[in-house]
Structure 1
């Protein structure tokens, strides 16, 4: 197994670790980090760190695979799967924690499934649905929104700016737009043909 695929598998393995820090009751841990009126439980800070590390490996494994000509079918399967598992797991955890509206999680996760289905149809047709600029923007905004939710909107909470809410709404809107964009640009794949 090559290095990019190992990095991708490591990203998948970090998901349950992150979820443990988010969802297990850590009331036996020391007091949360407190600064002025800002409060952040230590387990949530650790989960945010794990998420940032896991999300950053997405670009690293793809870059290494392309640069060193190590692109494999396993990597093509695991990389997008790891991305979707990471985002879905953290969003579901944030909904459970009351930090994210469930409809936003449903919109984001549904879009991921829909675009994955479109890509599968394209593969059957012998073509590839490449990542679009809106898809890349969606990923960046989603990661920013998730990190802000995990950090209880730090440092913007200190100055009273609800950037976590703004970023979450932006992520939802860009997610919807990018999903529509993929389907409009690839509508030829959805034409029904006679068998």
Structure 2
């Protein structure tokens, strides 16, 4: 209980997002009446709390080192859990999930390496587009073909957009800062 009292409001919202992940997975993978709408609402709440905690932290000057670590971690955990669940449901090809999740791990490692060398590597516009495309596509996939019917094609197209933006944004990070980060590595 003590740790929650010491946390900022935005960090509490981020922690709630992380704690909601098992509920999202259970709602996706168990077949109870209304499980898809429940999973959709959880994914929607995750997106809304992500937007709200970022806005709150910036607007009310509640930025913290913990928040800078927790927020992107929560994003990656939610995306990873949702993708793996959707692979299990045969809605996302495993190879696509592996590439998207692999990109997340690689970019996170690269950003950590840059940070350890004092090089700031903020999220790029393309990275933000990727995150939004992931959130929208996953929400559409969660609703599923039975609910979306002919509009399910949007989810399938969205997967390809996510894959493309994931790869292009990873390349952008490397081309923008890779030489500087790797040069710093040689100097050590």
Secondary structure at 2:82's aligned position in 1?
helix
Q: How many residues align?
A: 180
Shift, 1:133, TM fit: 0.8
**Residue 56 of structure 2, aligned match among 35, 40, 64:** 64
2:115 aligned residue: 123
2:154 aligned residue: 163
Runs of 4+ deviating beyond 2 Å: 153-159
Q: Structure 1 stretches of 5 or more lacking a match? A: 30-41
**Residue 97 of structure 2, aligned match among 105, 120, 129:** 105
Alpha-carbon separation, structure 1, partners of 2:177 and 2:10: 29
Shift, 1:156, TM fit: 5.2
Q: TM-score, normalised by structure 2?
A: 0.90
Secondary structure at 1:162's aligned position in 2?
helix
Secondary structure at 1:121's aligned position in 2?
helix
Alpha-carbon separation, structure 2, partners of 1:140 and 1:155: 22
What is the Cα-based RMSD across aligned positions, in Å?
Answer: 1.6
Matched, 1:21 2:14: no
Shift, 1:25, TM fit: 3.9
Alpha-carbon separation, structure 2, partners of 1:58 and 1:154: 28
Shift, 1:2, TM fit: 1.1
Matched, 1:184 2:157: no
Work out which of the two has the higher radius of gyration on C-alpha atoms and give 1 or 2. Answer: 1
